[in-house]
């Protein structure tokens, strides 16, 4: 039975990773989907003839209005992706996993069906569909982050892995674009995503808990498919799992003794160990901002890599930091609160886009310099955590 429990944990981990990779953060591949929408003539009525090239038969229309409409949809959706994390995090904390996942499946399926069946004449429905898609996706992520609790001391690694998968799912829209170029319609692709909701439902009832996964995990803990076996399954696992927990506790004892000697509690030691990760995250974000500001096309390959890696560190580090610094029963609300604050900042995307297209005449230099300077401010966070650790080391009474 212990082996069956381990297999269930691994099945939950791997299917959750696939769920985040294939569905949760697809919004961030929006640019690839815009190509398909333009080919399908979405918002084409916003394009205007270029009066300076009226005599040229091959002239291209001025589609600034169309670009702004797509930018507005993305701004709204990305805002909802972050801002709605707070109420959805509360739903997860209050009503637990099954209810939260059923809500996610409803939003996600509805969104994919809307996108699959709209046309250029009903393109305004994208203002409804894309926010629904992002709300469903972020709920998938939140409910999967708790899976890290099943793996003890590897919890932070699992959380970061899931956040990396969330960011990498932006490739889904790129795949849809490539399939579209090979003759597979947009409707077929999104109907396939809708049908995948059956798989989400299967994970919800067979591989996920009804409530929350506790930390640390009790020796006789069972969930999902294994919970159907009742008390016998729990009893069968108790002895083996207790040995595992005792082994992990013995591994942690030297660290606890050491912390009892630099005057820090184990939780404070864990928090101090997060400083290098926080500093590295800020450094990666700074590198991304600098590379994006340099108008050299070949350098943008590096920019893209830094963007993906820095987002993984940013989201993963944020989630891991919250689990180390605050009680786990408030994780959903705190994670949502941080994301909601970032949503307020994301609202600046549309006016910045308009500023670049208008007064700055497509020259983003001053905007990029401003963003680089703003990124430098993020180094304040690891510095404050480091300073707090130093204070606790110098004054052991404060660490209690």
Q: How many domains does one find in the chain?
A: 2
Cα 239 from chain centroid (whole Å)? 37
Which token pair is 148? 């890290």
* pTM for the model: 0.77
- Pairwise pLDDT comparison (60 vs 334), residue with the higher score: 334
pLDDT at 199 over 70: yes
Give the separation between CA 396 and CA 265, rounded to whole angstroms: 9
User: CA distances (Å), 197 to each of 9, 19, 85, 148, 361, in order?
Assistant: 21, 11, 21, 23, 45
Task: Verify that 196 and 272 share a domain, yes or no.
Answer: no
Q: What is the mean pLDDT of residues 349-364?
A: 85
One domain for residues 147 and 278: no
Same domain? 79 vs 196: yes
- Mean pLDDT value of segment 197-209: 94
pLDDT for res 35 = 93
Q: What is the pLDDT of residues 160-193, one digit of tens each?
A: 889 888 888 989 999 999 999 999 999 999 999 9
Residue 353 inside a domain? The answer is no
What is the rounded radius of gyration, in angstroms, for the C-alpha atoms of the chain? 24
Tell whether 172 and 276 lie within a shared domain: no
Q: How confident is the model over 2-56, as pLDDT tens digits? A: 566 788 899 999 999 999 999 999 998 999 999 999 999 999 998 887 665 555 5
Q: Is residue 340 part of a domain?
A: no
> Would you state the structure tokens that stand for residue 229, as one six-digit string?
């076996």
Q: How confident is the model at residue 349 (pLDDT cuts 50, 70, 90)?
A: confident
181 and 305 together in one domain: no
DSSP string for 103-129: HHHHHHHHHHHHHHH--GGGGGGHHHH
Q: Is residue 334 domain-resident? A: no
- Of the three residues 193, 215, 237, the one that is the final residue of a domain is 215
Cβ proximity of 331 and 322 under 8 Å: yes
pLDDT for residue 13: 95
Tokens coding 105 = 């499946």
Most confident region among 58-72, 161-175, 177-191, 202-216 by mean pLDDT: 177-191
pLDDT of residue 245: 45
Share of the chain above pLDDT 70, in %: 84
Whether 96 has a pLDDT exceeding 70, the answer reads: yes
The pLDDT value recorded for residue 228 is: 56
Q: What is the pLDDT of residue 129?
A: 96
Identify whether residues 118 and 180 lie together within a single domain.
Answer: yes
* CATH number reported for the structural domain that contains residue 37 in this entry: 1.20.1250.20
Please enumerate, as own/partner, the contacts of 157-160 that have beta carbons within 8 Å and a separation of 24 or more.
Answer: 158/13, 159/316, 159/319, 159/320, 159/323, 160/312, 160/313, 160/316, 160/317, 160/319, 160/320
The last residue of a domain, from among 185, 215, 245: 215
Question: For 241-275, how does the pLDDT look when each residue is reduced to its tens digit (9 = 90+)?
Answer: 445 444 544 444 444 444 444 756 666 777 787 88
| Average pLDDT over all residues of the chain | 83
- Under the banding of pLDDT at 50, 70 and 90, the label for residue 201 is very high
Q: Which domain holds residue 378?
A: 262-325+359-399
Separation of alpha carbons 215 and 100, rounded Å: 19
Which pLDDT belongs to residue 398?
A: 54
CB 295 within 8 A of CB 131: no
376-379 contacts at long range (C-beta below 8 A, 24 or more positions apart) = 376/286, 378/281, 378/282, 378/285, 378/286, 379/279, 379/282
241, part of any domain:
no
In terms of pLDDT, which residue wins out, 137 or 326?
Answer: 137
Locate tokens 């409910």: which residue?
A: 143
Q: Over range 362-381, report the average pLDDT.
A: 91
Residues in CB range of 53: below 8 A, 6 or more apart: 59, 60
Co-location of 75 and 9 in the same domain:
yes
């Amino acid at each position: 039975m212990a082996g069956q429990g381990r297999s269930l944990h691994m099945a939950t981990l791997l299917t959750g990773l696939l769920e985040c990779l294939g569905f949760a953060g697809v919004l961030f591949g929006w640019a690839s989907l815009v190509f398909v929408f333009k080919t399908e003539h979405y918002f084409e009525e916003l394009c205007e003839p270029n009066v300076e090239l009226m005599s040229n038969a091959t002239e291209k229309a001025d589609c600034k209005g169309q670009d702004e409409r797509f930018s507005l949809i993305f701004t709204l959706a990305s805002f909802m992706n972050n801002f709605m994390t707070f109420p959805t995090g509360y739903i997860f904390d209050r009503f637990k996993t099954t209810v939260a996942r059923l809500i996610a499946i409803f939003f996600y399926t509805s969104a994919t069906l809307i996108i699959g069946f709209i046309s250029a004449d009903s393109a305004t429905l994208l203002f409804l569909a894309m926010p629904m898609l992002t709300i469903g996706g972020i709920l998938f992520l939140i409910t999967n982050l708790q899976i890290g609790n099943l793996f003890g001391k590897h919890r932070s690694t699992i959380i970061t892995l899931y956040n990396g998968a969330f960011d990498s799912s932006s490739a889904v829209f790129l795949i849809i674009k490539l399939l579209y170029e090979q003759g597979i319609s947009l409707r077929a692709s999104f109907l396939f995503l809708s049908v995948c909701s059956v798989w989400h439902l299967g994970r919800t009832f067979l591989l996920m808990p009804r409530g929350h996964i506790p930390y640390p995990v009790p020796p006789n803990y069972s969930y999902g498919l294994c919970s159907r076996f009742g008390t016998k399954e729990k009893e069968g696992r108790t002895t083996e799992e207790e040995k595992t927990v005792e082994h992990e506790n013995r591994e942690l004892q030297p660290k606890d003794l050491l912390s009892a000697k630099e005057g820090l509690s184990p939780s404070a030691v864990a928090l101090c160990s997060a400083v290098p990760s926080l500093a590295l995250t800020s450094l990666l974000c700074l590198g991304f901002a600098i590379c994006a500001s340099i108008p050299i096309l070949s350098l943008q390959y590096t920019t893209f890599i830094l963007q993906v890696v820095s987002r993984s560190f940013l989201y993963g580090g944020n989630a891991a930091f919250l689990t180390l610094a605050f009680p786990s029963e408030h994780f959903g609300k705190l994670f949502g609160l941080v994301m909601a604050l970032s949503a307020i900042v994301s609202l600046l995307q549309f006016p910045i886009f308009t500023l670049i297209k208008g007064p700055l005449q497509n020259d983003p230099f001053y905007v990029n310099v401003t963003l680089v300077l703003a990124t430098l401010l993020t180094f304040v966070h690891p510095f404050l955590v480091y300073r707090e650790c130093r204070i606790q080391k110098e004054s052991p009474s404060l660490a209690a």
